[in-house]
Amino acid sequence: MSRAMQIIIAPEECKGCGRCVVNCPRQVFALGRTLNGRGNVTAEVVNPESCIGCRFCYYSCPEPGAITLIEKVDEEKVS
């Protein structure tokens, strides 16, 4: 069994601080090249398959609602 997250960023809530980029141990995020309605560069999910579900990104983000994590559980057959 492996655990990972579906990772959703709400661009209008993100202020582009980069904390998720720095704190993710698996380089899941990068800052993008487009601005949101508040004039902020926003984080993007660029490497979702590497997520290990640690939630460091969620707890380091200062903007409520900017990052949503939905746990996925993939069953693997054990012989």
Binding site for ligand SF4 (CB under 6 A): 5, 7, 9, 14-20, 24-26, 28, 43, 51-57, 60-61, 63, 66-67
Closest CB 66 distance from ligand SF4, rounded Å: 4
Which amino acid, 14?
A: C
Phi-psi region of 18 (alpha: psi -120 to 50; beta: other; left: phi over 0): left
Closest CB 20 distance from ligand SF4, rounded Å: 3
If the CB atoms of residues 70 and 75 are measured against ligand SF4, the closer one turns out to be 70
Closest CB 28 distance from ligand SF4, rounded Å: 4
Rounded CA-CA distance 40/61 in Å is: 15
- Determine which helix (DSSP H) or strand (DSSP E) holds 59, and give its type and residue range: helix 56-60
Rounded CA-CA distance 12/23 in Å is: 21
If the CB atoms of residues 55 and 72 are measured against ligand SF4, the closer one turns out to be 55
